Amino acid sequence: MAKKIPRVDLPDGLRLDTLAVREGLPRTPWGENSEALFLTSSFVQPDAATAAARFANEEEAFIYSRFTNPTVTMMERRLAAMEGTEACIATSSGMSAILLLVMGLLKAGDHIICSHSVFGSTIMLLGREFAKFGVETTFVSQTDVAEWRRALKPNTRLLFAESPTNPLTEVCDIRALAEIAKAAGAWLAVDNCFCSPALQKPVEYGADIIIHSGTKYLDGQGRVIAGAICCSEQLVNEKFMPVMRSAGMSLSPFNAWVVLKGLETLSIRMRAQSENALKMATWLEMQPSVDRVYYPGLPSHPQHELAMAQQSGCGGAVLSFIVNGQASGGPTLARKNAFHVIDSTRICSITANLGDTKTTITHPASTSHGRLTEEQRQAAGITQGMIRLAVGLDDVEDLKADLARGLTSI
Ligand SMILES: Cc1ncc(COP(=O)(O)O)c(C=O)c1O
């Protein structure tokens, strides 16, 4: 939408940090320096004939906030510019971005290939909800490119990846998946929630579509639920906007404004939180009561080199680790120990959200991935002893002390 609605007058070739604070819409006649919040459901039309032309898409203008609102457009333009895509369509949540993706692109009889280690609700939405409507999904290994190729069918229309994954931080080779998708005439969509465009731009590796949960790093301060799809102008106009207009998984202008302001500090937050996460991961790897640490920034991570190349040399701010217990007492003891470490913290927020400036801690097997069957969890590698830490801006020494309380008393 809004191709003809004027853009901010900016020089060409600006870099991400400038776009993050400048891209959007031109100022209103009042000359505000901070972006305006247009908290309105609808827009008054000058006369009936103009209203008719606008509703018929013959003239571009803001009409009704289910599908057009200036604050939302500002957020969409800013995020698209940062991701390096032509366009973006904002949605009410990250999950509704994936809902819109599938509703907009696919029909009954179509086939999706998806990594089996993506976010739990994505597995439920693709694997269960869309199966009801005749869209079939094959789940494959995140890291074995040959498995993605083998899963192709004549009706495969979409490859869906998330990198790094939640919570195992497995990294997929976006370029290799893009080549497979292209050769098969399918789209590649990448959920870029963990890295954000500050660290990784999947379009540079050939992805067609970027999915965001704006709830995470884009807002970055745990305030709103939001989502977005970044892609070509053509896909937005022809595939996604018609569904948005009819189905209304729209982002509220207020939430769009919060994300818009969050984008301004995205880059410095991502780098600072990644630095903290690397320090925490390095420290956790040395703790005797920790069996294993999953963090792409560590040389011990199986896709460390790929991650460093794809993610601007940063590991991101999310890590997971496994506490002792599985070997001696099976899943029951592993879960008890994980709960003990979580419950012994006094700084970390016990919550399943991530991407906040406040460090959050969670037990994926019973929260974000609790609705999966044990078989699906095992396929995703999520064991009962696993804890996910989404590192914020808290002081790292305070965080170490917070975790050491539980780790040293298992
Ligand atoms: C990787 C990933 N994608 C999508 C989502 C869904 O986003 P939302 O909670 O905004 O619907 C999440 C939520 O945790 C996530 O971690």
Q: For the chain, what are the domain ranges?
A: 16-263, 269-407
Q: Quickly name the fold that domain 16-263 has.
A: Aspartate Aminotransferase; domain 2 (3.40.640)
Beta bridge partners of 361: 350, 389
How far apart are the CA of 95 and the centre of ligand 1, in A?
6
Cα 227 from chain centre = 8
CATH topology match: 16-263 vs 269-407: no
How far apart are the CA of 226 and the centre of ligand 1, in A?
9
How far apart are the CA of 227 and the centre of ligand 1, in A?
8
Which pLDDT value is given to residue 1? 47
Our answer on whether the CB atom of 162 is closer than 6 Å to any ligand 1 atom is yes
Residue with the smallest CA separation from ligand 1 atom 6 is 94
How far apart are the CA of 291 and the centre of ligand 1, in A?
27
Threshold 0.85, pTM exceeds = yes
Q: Is domain 269-407 classified as CATH 3.40.50.1000?
A: no
Our answer on whether the CB atom of 215 is closer than 6 Å to any ligand 1 atom is yes
Which pLDDT value is given to residue 372? 77
What single-letter DSSP state applies at residue 5? S
Ligand 1 atom nearest 194 alpha carbon: 1
Could you give the CA distance from residue 113 to residue 156 in angstroms, rounded to a whole number? Answer: 7
Strands annotated E in 79-177 = 87-91, 111-115, 136-140, 156-162
Could you give the CA distance from residue 94 to residue 332 in angstroms, rounded to a whole number? Answer: 32
Our answer on whether the CB atom of 94 is closer than 6 Å to any ligand 1 atom is yes
Could you give the CA distance from residue 228 to residue 147 in angstroms, rounded to a whole number? Answer: 28
The token duo for 92 is 């009410």
How far apart are the CA of 371 and the centre of ligand 1, in A?
15
- Out of 96, 119, 249, give the residue to mutate to test ligand 1, the one with the largest number of ligand atoms within 8 Å of its CB: 119
Predicted confidence pLDDT, tens digits, the chain (410 residues): 455 789 999 999 999 999 999 999 999 999 999 999 999 999 999 999 999 999 998 999 999 999 999 999 999 999 999 999 999 999 999 999 999 999 999 999 999 999 988 988 999 999 999 999 999 999 999 999 999 999 999 999 999 999 999 899 999 999 999 999 999 999 999 999 999 999 999 999 999 999 999 999 999 999 999 999 999 999 999 999 999 999 999 999 999 999 999 999 999 999 999 999 999 999 999 999 999 999 999 999 999 999 999 999 999 999 999 999 888 989 999 999 999 999 999 999 999 999 999 999 999 999 988 877 878 787 778 999 999 999 999 999 999 999 999 999 99
The CA distances from residue 345 to 68, 189, 263, 340, 362, in Å, are: 44, 37, 30, 9, 11
Our answer on whether the CB atom of 297 is closer than 6 Å to any ligand 1 atom is no
